[in-house]
């Protein structure tokens, strides 16, 4: 598995996975009617960095890295990760998160925060906790899950600086 900066061609290959995850309404608070151009801007242009995990030309997953806030809050970063369902269970998300932490440190961020980890996404919650993230708050009924209705969302945090 190689991790490298995303290209326009990579995003085109990633688009079906991105759209399927967003339209499933189980993990991401992104409008499920998002179009390609808006998704590309959101995932590839607005963040500081966006990376892709690939085997050959097959896109296994991707993540973005950006400041979580502006001005006096810009020392804390935020990341979002999407893995192709066919590649789940192969350590792709773990590898992407470990890579994102290295890139965040190199970019000078002191901490990483996930703003809304859907509580029913237990696999992700356990993974982030195994990588040192703590649940620092829970927002009741913050997410309209397609199957479970209103569910909680966790704010998760990890200090990166030593």
Question: What pLDDT, on the 0 to 100 scale, is given for residue 41?
Answer: 98
- What's the rounded mean pLDDT across residues 58-62? 96
Confidence band for 82, pLDDT divided at 50, 70 and 90 = very high
- What's the rounded mean pLDDT across residues 81-98? 94
Question: What pLDDT, on the 0 to 100 scale, is given for residue 161?
Answer: 76
What whole-number distance in Å separates Cα of residue 139 and Cα of residue 107? 29
**Contact 109/75 with Cβ under 8 angstroms?**
yes
Instruction: Report the mean per-residue pLDDT for the chain.
Output: 96
* Superfamily covering domain 2-159: Gcn5-related N-acetyltransferase (GNAT) (3.40.630.30)
Evaluated on CA atoms 19, 33, 76, 128, the torsion sign reads: negative
Confidence band for 162, pLDDT divided at 50, 70 and 90 = low
pTM value is: 0.93
Confidence band for 16, pLDDT divided at 50, 70 and 90 = very high
- What's the rounded mean pLDDT across residues 49-62? 96
C-alpha radius of gyration, the chain, whole number: 15
- Kindly tell me if the per-residue pLDDT of 47 is higher than 90: yes
Evaluated on CA atoms 94, 68, 38, 152, the torsion sign reads: positive
């Amino acid at each position: 598995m190689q991790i490298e900066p995303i290209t326009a061609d990579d995003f085109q290959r990633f688009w079906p996975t991105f759209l399927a995850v967003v339209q499933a309404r189980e993990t991401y608070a992104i409008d499920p009617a998002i179009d390609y151009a808006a998704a590309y801007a959101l995932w590839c242009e607005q963040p500081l960095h966006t990376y892709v995990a690939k085997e050959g030309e097959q896109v296994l997953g991707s993540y973005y890295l950006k400041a979580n806030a502006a001005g006096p809050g810009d020392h804390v970063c935020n990341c979002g990760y999407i893995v192709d369902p066919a590649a789940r269970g192969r350590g792709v998300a773990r590898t992407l998160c470990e890579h994102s932490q290295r890139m965040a440190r190199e970019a000078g961020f002191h901490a990483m925060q996930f703003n809304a980890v859907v509580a029913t996404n237990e696999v992700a919650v356990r993974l982030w906790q195994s990588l040192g993230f703590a649940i620092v708050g829970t927002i009741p009924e913050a997410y309209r899950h397609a199957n479970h209705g209103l569910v909680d969302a966790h704010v998760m945090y990890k200090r990166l600086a030593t």
